[in-house]
Structure 1
Amino acid sequence: MTSWDGLNSAYFTLDKDDHIFNALVTSIVEHQLLPGSKLPEEALAEVFGVSRTGIRRVLQRLAAVQLITLTPKRGAQVATPDIDTSRDLFATRRMLECANLPAVVAHCQPPHLAAMRNIVSEEQQAHEAHDGAAAIRLSAAFHVQLQAISGNAVLTELVSQLTLRSSLVVAAWGAPWQQGCRCLDHDALLALLKKRDVDALVAQMHRHFDAIVGSLRFEPAGDTLPDFARIFAPFQATLPSKE
């Protein structure tokens, strides 16, 4: 099974700080810890059985990769990407991933296609099983492993880091049911890769990112009332009539 340590190997080593970092990254990017969630040092130290100093080191690392924010007096919170940052993240991914696709096609061999097919199959199974964490992980794996085919380790590492932050965008602005990318999009991308059709592959990747951004529900921040009429419409018919 593809895991986050496979997506971003630079972050995953064997000492205790790294294991705690690893656990927190996984919880954040798989939407177990949602944007805005507080991360109190004392509670985390107790859970992991380490000192608050050790937790502080890990939190500083998470802040360095922009997965959390550290604010004086308020402490640590899972980052909430703003609208501009969210759009910029996906615009950057679109530029990087599309620009590298000719190299991906040039280096692609049958074993690469088989590995990508396995990821798509596992992703579909995760969606069918309503396993949100696995669906998110495999969605990211598809993009990272696709770029890795090119042999460009620097670009692949950048895409890997951006997928982690992209997961925060989906958690902050996505629909409640949204779990990673759409499997059908990945299936279509894989089919075009197999055909070695560079132009069509680039065009499909552009459409894929447009669909992701289009599915995000950017709404102005502020204290606004929910749309109660919409939310409770299904219950209105069941209300007892007025006396």
Structure 2
Amino acid sequence: MSTRKRNLPATASAAAVDTSAELITGLNDNESRIYRSVFESVMNQRIAPGTKLPEQALCALFDVNRATVRKVLQRLAHDHIVDLRPNRGAVVAAPTPEETRQIFEARQQLEAAVVPLVAQRITKAEIGQLRKQLREEHAALHRADQPAWARLASGFHLRLAELSGNAILHRYLHELISRCSLIVALYEPPGNAACEHEEHARIVDHIENGEPAKAVKVMQEHLLDLEQRICLDKPQSEKSLAQMLGLV
């Protein structure tokens, strides 16, 4: 099991999801601006789990009405970035230890099901495409382009799910990877690589060599290593909401 620590930037430690047009489809410009500000502040560890996001304060900071803010908060809640609590308003999501354990347990099971299916179906051309993706991942890591690397690293797992040929597994894994990425972005100590590039390469090696059991073993160790690096004890920030959202 790998325990190496990469000298990575302290921001965007493991965002598998990003604020792409696909992610924020259905939001207008003002709504997208608020969504991006909250999302990126969470993923860059500027804003801590449990931080309150008062509607009135967000209206003032972004110069929008309450209906706009409520729509964005509902979308952020749908994407598991914030929790909406009755009579308490919105707070940045703070997954519990048990919820974290269950999310990673489910991901372990799904990825263990994906790998043998990939090994049965994959073609030489698709192996070549995976190798190309790994080269891009490696290049991004070594030029310290952490956001690009994080997207490529999580994209590797999603690409395996696609290659399994099982659309249901792919859909469920997509949600789990997004939720894992939020947990890691919130709670992993700065400077760690969320996915070790060498472990990805070993998984592809075993798949290419017709060794699915070995590929599954590496995948399980890989995900367990990631889970064990999470530290759920996160102090609250003393900065203002505007500072945490990067507005001042």
What range describes the TM-score normalised by the shorter chain of this pair?
Answer: 0.7 to 0.9
Corresponding letter in the other structure for 2:184 = V
| Shift, 1:40, TM fit | 4.4
Higher helix content, 1 or 2: 1
Select 2:91's aligned residue among 53, 65, 77.
77
Aligned with 2:164: secondary structure? coil
The number of residues matched between the two structures is: 219
2:58 equivalent to 1:63 = no
Deviation readout 1:32-55 (Å, 9 max, x if unpaired): 655344444456557777543133
Return the alpha-carbon distance in structure 1 between the equivalents of residues 89 and 184 of structure 2. 23
Long gaps (5+) in structure 1: 224-243
2:214 equivalent to 1:200 = yes
Return the alpha-carbon distance in structure 1 between the equivalents of residues 44 and 165 of structure 2. 27
Structure (1 or 2) with the larger CA radius of gyration: 1
Deviation readout 1:2-61 (Å, 9 max, x if unpaired): x8479996x553652885687368624565655344444456557777543133123112
Distance 1:20 1:164, change over 3 A: farther
Deviation readout 1:201-235 (Å, 9 max, x if unpaired): 1111111112112222355x899xxxxxxxxxxxx
Contact 1:4–1:26 under 8 Å retained in 2: no
Corresponding letter in the other structure for 2:172 = L
Q: Report the equivalent of 2:158.
A: 144
Select 2:25's aligned residue among 9, 13, 21.
13
Select 1:118's aligned residue among 132, 138, 146.
132
Distance 1:201 1:15, change over 3 A: same
Contact 1:173–1:218 under 8 Å retained in 2: yes
Cα RMSD after superposing both structures: 3.3
Distance 1:194 1:200, change over 3 A: same
Return the alpha-carbon distance in structure 2 between the equivalents of residues 21 and 105 of structure 1. 43
Return the alpha-carbon distance in structure 2 between the equivalents of residues 186 and 8 of structure 1. 28
Aligned with 2:133: secondary structure? helix
2:39 equivalent to 1:23 = no
Aligned with 2:118: secondary structure? helix
Distance 1:76 1:125, change over 3 A: farther
Q: TM-score with structure 2 length normalisation?
A: 0.72
Contact 2:73–2:82 under 8 Å retained in 1: yes
Aligned with 1:69: secondary structure? strand
Q: TM-score with structure 1 length normalisation?
A: 0.74
Contact 2:84–2:90 under 8 Å retained in 1: yes
Q: Report the equivalent of 1:95.
A: 109
Aligned with 2:194: secondary structure? coil
Corresponding letter in the other structure for 2:213 = D
Select 2:182's aligned residue among 168, 191, 213.
168
Return the alpha-carbon distance in structure 2 between the equivalents of residues 150 and 7 of structure 1. 25
Contact 2:82–2:91 under 8 Å retained in 1: yes
Select 1:54's aligned residue among 60, 68, 80.
68
> Percent of aligned pairs with the same residue?
30
Contact 1:116–1:190 under 8 Å retained in 2: yes
Return the alpha-carbon distance in structure 2 between the equivalents of residues 207 and 8 of structure 1. 34
Say which is worse superposed, 29-38 or 73-82, in terms of deviation: 29-38
